[in-house]
Amino acid sequence: MTSEAEAGGHAALGFCPQFHAAIELIGRRWNGVILQRLLAGPLRFSEIRKGVPRLTDAMLSQRLRELEDAGIVVREVGTDRPVQVVYALTDVGRRLSPVLDAVAEWSNEWAASR
């Protein structure tokens, strides 16, 4: 078994577990649209889900918990009545913006190539 490449960066023909975990987290079903929406600012659960075909409450709850565990999303509970819960990106979550921009740009080139 080849020894695993050093963490981060293009490890030509190596295997970078950190890169692998990052790209699979970002690309996991529904995470793209969730992250894209939260880049616009903190949102309530219903606002994240709105207008996303086939995204169920159960699936959105699971994805938000995974993103919280990964340190990319925080759940904030307001003090006013009735209680308001919003989800927001952490600092490192907000730093996904250039990644999502790069994907959006590539998706145009990909669509044009078809």
Per-residue contact flags (x/-) with a copy of itself for residues 41 to 80, judged by CB under 8 A: ------x--xxxx----------------xxx--------
# of chain residues touching a copy of itself (CB under 8 A): 60
Closer CB to a copy of itself, 23 or 85, in the complex? 23
Per residue, the 3-state secondary structure of the chain, as one string, reads CCCCCCCCCCCCCCCCHHHHHHHHHHHCCCHHHHHHHHCCCCECHHHHHCCCCCCCHHHHHHHHHHHHHCCCEEEEECCCCCCCEEEEECHHHHCCHHHHHHHHHHHHHHHHCC
14-33 residues near a copy of itself, rule: CB under 8 A: 14-16, 18-29, 31-33
